[in-house]
Amino acid sequence: MTVRKATVADAALLFEWRNDSETRRNSRDKSPLDLDTHKEWLSRTLQSSHRALYIVEINERPLGTIRTDVARDGYIEISYTIAPEFRGRRLSKPMVKRFADEFLKGKKIVAHIKKDHRPSESVARMLGLKPVSEVPSEDPIDDRPMVEWR
């Protein structure tokens, strides 16, 4: 597995992954995005000093994306997505571990995970995180709260 910074050339791929129904189901924002809005977000993200976006590849094929945000309290918030074609192959843990070993050593990490999203909970445990609080859902369709892991 290799990790590289995302670029504007990744816009179409990231847009496809972001609008995938399973990705949206487990995200804070479930609404589909239009391409122009996505490109604006990507441009801001790539220029941000508080956010970084990476593409993880396996055998030179895009496996997933990992985003980090510097939180106000000094923690690094991590968020990731596995490409739809790689889901169910137990690659989340190796992908995030590979990333964490290179970029998160010695850092305080936080993650926000939909309650009962077992694959992401397992990844959080691998990182040494524990659930600390819940935020009730405001989504009328999916009432699972968001759980903060530290």
Residue 38: its pLDDT value, please? 95
The amino acid at 116: D
pTM reported for the whole predicted model: 0.91
Residue 28: its pLDDT value, please? 74
Tell me the per-residue pLDDT of 108-140, one tens digit each, with 9 for 90 and over: 999 999 999 999 999 999 999 999 999 898 887
Q: Is the pLDDT of residue 30 over 80?
A: no
Give the pLDDT band of residue 13 (cuts 50, 70, 90): very high
Angle ∠(112,45,89) on CA atoms, nearest 5 = 50
Residue 34: its pLDDT value, please? 92
**pLDDT, mean of residues 16-42:** 88
Report yes or no: 46 and 53 within 8 Å, Cβ to Cβ: yes
Residue 26: its pLDDT value, please? 77
Residue 21: its pLDDT value, please? 87
Classify domain 2-149 by CATH number: 3.40.630.30
Angle ∠(138,141,146) on CA atoms, nearest 5 = 45
Domain locations in the chain? 2-149
Closest by CA to 80, choosing from 59, 52, 61, 107, is 52
Residue 72: its pLDDT value, please? 86
Tell me the per-residue pLDDT of 51-108, one tens digit each, with 9 for 90 and over: 999 999 999 999 999 999 999 899 999 999 999 999 999 999 999 999 999 999 999 9
What is the overall mean pLDDT for the chain? 94
